Structure 1
Amino acid sequence: MRIKTYVADNIQEALYKVKSELGKDAIILQTRQIKKGGILGFFSKPKVEVIAASDIVQAPKPQLKPISYEMPVRENSRELEDIKNEINEVKDLLKSLSAREIYRKSLGDLPPPLDEVYKELSSAELEQSLIDKLIDGLKSQVAEDGLDKSAVITCLKNQIATMIKVTEPINFTEDKPSKVVFIGPTGVGKTTTIAKLAAVYSLNMGKKVGLVAADTYRVGAVEQLKTYGDLLEIPVEVIFEPADASRVMKKLSDCELVLVDTMGTSPRNKMQIKRIKSLIEMVKPTEIHMVISVTTKAKDVYDILESYKELNYQKLVFTKLDETNSYGLILNAIIFSNCSPSYLTAGQNVPDDIEVASGSKIADLILGGCS
C-alpha cells in the first residue's frame, strides 16, 4: 500500500491532489487542520493536511502446470469461454447493425435533417428501438412542415424529455427521518455521491444530515465517509451487520435526512446482493437509489439493473458524466428500469459536480453533438 501526505489551502484542493497522483480509488486515511509558515509561530496560515493511500496491485502468481509425459492439451476452458463471449458480442453487434440497416431501408431516403440526426442518435449509443420511435415521431412532421435541423433537434429534445418521469430527487417525510439507501456495483461513485449530497443538504439547505457506512468490505471506505462527516460536522455511524441497523437508526432519529452507503458488488454475486437486501429490510428506507456509471457497457448496465431488481430501487443516479461523450445509456437505463432519474454527477469535487436530473438536461446531453 502506498501512503502519502498532502497539504493544501482547502479540502477540495487536497482531494484534487490525492486523486491526481494516487488515482480515483485512493483512500483517505486522515484529515486535519494545521498551521504552516509565519515567523516564530506568528502569522501562520491554516492549512488542510490529508493522508491518503492507494493499493498497489501485485502481479498475479503464474499458474504452473504439473509435468506430464502426455501430449499437452491446448484446450483451455477459460480461453474458450473468453472466445465464446467475444463471438457472441460480435454476433450481437452484427444483429444490431443488420437491424439498423433493415430499418433504414424501410424508411427509404430520410430528409437531410432526419438523416443527420439519425446518425447522431446512433453515435450516442441510444437503443435502436428508441431511435426508431423518435424518428417515426418526426417523419410526418418534417415532411409536412419542412423543419430544418434546428427545429428537428428542438422537437427531439421535447420528445426525449416527455419520455422521462421526473420526481423529487429526495422526498422528505414530516414525522421521521428520510432514509435514502444507495446501491450499485463497486467503483461507480456511491460514497462520493453521498458526500456531495450531504454537503448540499447540510450546508446549502440547512438540513440535519446523518451518514451511515455499511460498506465494511472495501478497505478505507468507512474512514473515507467519516472524513467527510468530520469536515461537514455531521454524525457518521457504522453498520457491520444488518442487525446493527435498528440501533444505528435510533441514534440518528433526530436527523432530517439519513444517507446510507452500501457495499458494492458484482451483479453476479447473488449472495452479496442477498446480504444488501437483508440490510435494506432492517433499515426500512424511504427510498432506494441505484447508482450507475455512464461509462459502463450497455449490456452490463442491463445485467446490473436486472440483478439488483429484487432490491426494489425506485430512482437512478448517473455518475462519471465527465468520462464519456455518449449519453444514450442514460435514457436506455431509464426506459429499461422504468425508474426516475434523481441526480447526475460529473467529477470528484465535493460538494460540486452534482445536479438534479431533469428530462431537458438529459435530452441536451444526448443531443449535445447535434448542431
Structure 2
Amino acid sequence: MITDTLFDITKASESRIADVDLDAPGFGREFADHMLEMEYRDGQWQQPEIKPFGSIEITPALNALHYAQSVFEGTKAYYVDGSTINLFRVQKNYERMARSCERMCIPTIEKDIFIEGIKELIRLDHQWVPEKEGNTLYIRPFACAFDPIISARVAEQYRFYIITSPVGSYYERPVKLTTTQQYVRAVKGGVGAAKTAGNYAASLYPAQQAKKEGFDQVLWLDAEEHTYVEEVGTMNIFFVIDGVLVTPSLRGTILPGVTRDSIIELAKHWDMPVEERRISIEEVMQAGKDDKLEEVFGAGTAAVVAPVEEVHHDGQSVTFDIDGRGPVGQKFYKAITDIQYGKAEDPFDWIASVKID
C-alpha cells in the first residue's frame, strides 16, 4: 500500500486493459483498473482509498436501494498526447455535486478529494484514456446512503466512489424528440436541478414509450402548464430561431448542464445573440412552420452537441433534412472539443491538464 497525503493507494496487481477495445468500447460497459472509495461514518468522511476496481458487498436492506438517497456526476478525460490528459471544467462538476448533496441530505465531499481523486485515478489509469478522437474516458463520481436499515429517514452512513469507463459516442446519429402531455420530469420545489438517481428512474418509462413510437428521447415540458420546454432526458436543449440562440432558463426544474453553460459562455464570447428564457413548445412549432427554426441541438457531457432531426408535438412535427450537426451546433462542437483535446486556446481557463510520468 502506497500512502499519499490525501489517499491510501493500492494498485491492481494486473491490468485488464488488454481485454478492452479502446477504439470501440461502447458506453458504460467497460471499467478501468482502479476506483476511489470513501466512507462516511461517525459524523465525518474517513480517509479515501484508491484501490482495484471491483464489486462491493452490500446488504439487501441498504438505505439507498429503498429510498434513493443518491447523487452522481459525469465528466470526461481527453487524450492530448503521451504525457498529457485533459479534464474539462471539473470545478463546475464539483460545485453541482455539492449542491446535489445538499439537496439530498448527503454530507458534502471536500473539493480536494473530488478533484484530486479524479486526477490521481487518471494518473494510475491513463492508458485507459482512448487515443481515438471522439472516444474518451468517462468519469463517474457518485455518493449514496449506506445505512443497513430500511427506514425513510436521512442516513447516518454514506459512501463516495469515483469509477472511470472508456466510452465512444453516446448518439451515433441525429435524434428524434417528442413531447408528452401525460408525464413530467420535475416540478417547482422538487429535485429537478439536482443530479440525483430518482430523476432518471422516473424518466425511463416515458422514454421507453417514446421509443416505441419511433423517437429517441422525450422533450420535457413544464409540469404546471405542459407548455414550456425544459430539457431532454439526457441533455439540455438549444434552438436557433431567426439567428438567435435560445435555451430554456434555469428555474429549479432543469439540470444546470456544464456543456449548456459552456455553450452560453462561448456564444457571448463570440457576440452571438443568445437568450435564456421561457420558450413554449408552440413557439418552437410555429417557428418551424415559418421556416425560422434553423437548428435544434442537445448539449451534455455524454453527447457534447447532438443534432436533432425531428421535434414532435401534439401530432405535428418539425423536421430537418440532416445527417449531422447543423452549422451552429457544429461550431460549438468544434470549439468545445478543440479546447478539450488541447487543439485550441482556452481563454476561459476550463482545462485542467494531468501530466503523466
**TM-score, structure 1 as length reference:** 0.22
Larger Rg over CA atoms: 1
TM-score of the pair, normalised by structure 2: 0.22
Q: Considering fraction of residues, name the structure with more strand.
A: 2
